[in-house]
A = this chain, B = another copy of it.
Amino acid sequence: MRANPAVIKRLSVYLQLLRQLPPETANISATVIAKSIGYGDVQVRKDLASVSGEGKPRTGYEVGNLIKSLEEYLGFNYPKKAIIVGAGRLGTALLEYDGFKSWGLEIAAAFDADESKTDKSKRIYPVSDLKEYCKSGDIKIGIITVPASAAQQVCDLICETPIKAVWSFAPTHLYVPEGVEVQYENMAASLANILCNID
């Protein structure tokens, strides 16, 4: 069963909030969480009930346990492996960012059509090696950081490997075979939401 994306998003926001609490914070109530984030009280209670059961009256949730429950529910408790296609600035930024592990992602390698970018010490390989690299099925996620004009071609190539999940940063729609899921990191949509609210 597929989880509801809006619920998953809220759960990850709770986790972000909880992880940034001072370490001495032992308990937190749904009301405080709701107020901190600007969600409704009932919403927070309902979301957390599905993951962790009810908070205790007066004291609320035990922070450490709630973090653990959320991490397990969201699949952040052990990292899954990904590869990047497109070793430009964004691709290499993602490749070298070591914060992804706490969000359940380990980026194993990056690939680029420009062979002059190949650098094994930085885990950057020619794109012609991609299918061989992914054939064991160990790599679960393909991240696309090429320009929009090249994204469909790269996506097709990823879909020839056992990878079933694509995370695309290219501002374009992608066509995939049945059974493959695409998650768009749609910066253009974020931007539109910002710009629409500027006078």
Contacts and interface: CB of A to CB of B under 8 A. Distances in A.
Interface of A: 2-3, 5, 8-9, 11-13, 15-17, 19-20, 36-37, 74-76, 80, 88-90, 92-93, 96-97, 99-100, 103-105, 140-141, 147-149, 164-165, 167, 171-173, 175, 181, 183, 185-198
Contacts of A36: 173, 175
Q: Among the interface residues A17, A90, A92, which one has the most CB atoms of the partner chain B within 10 A?
A: A90
Given A76-B192, A80-B198, A171 B93 contact: no
Given A9-B193, A192-B8, A194-B183, A93 B89 contact: yes
A197 to B, nearest CB: 6
Contact of A197 (B3, B20, B100): B3
Contact of A13 (B3, B76, B189, B193): B189
A186 to B, nearest CB: 7
7 nearest A-B pairs in the assembled complex, by CB-CB distance: A75-B195, A89-B93, A9-B189, A12-B189, A12-B192, A74-B192, A3-B196
A147 B103 CA distance: 14
Nearest to A33: B173
A100 B192 CA distance: 11
A72 to B, nearest CB: 11
Given A92-B89, A167-B194, A198-B164, A147 B8 contact: no
Contacts of A186: 9, 12-13
B173 A183 contact: no
A90 to B, nearest CB: 5
A162 to B, nearest CB: 11
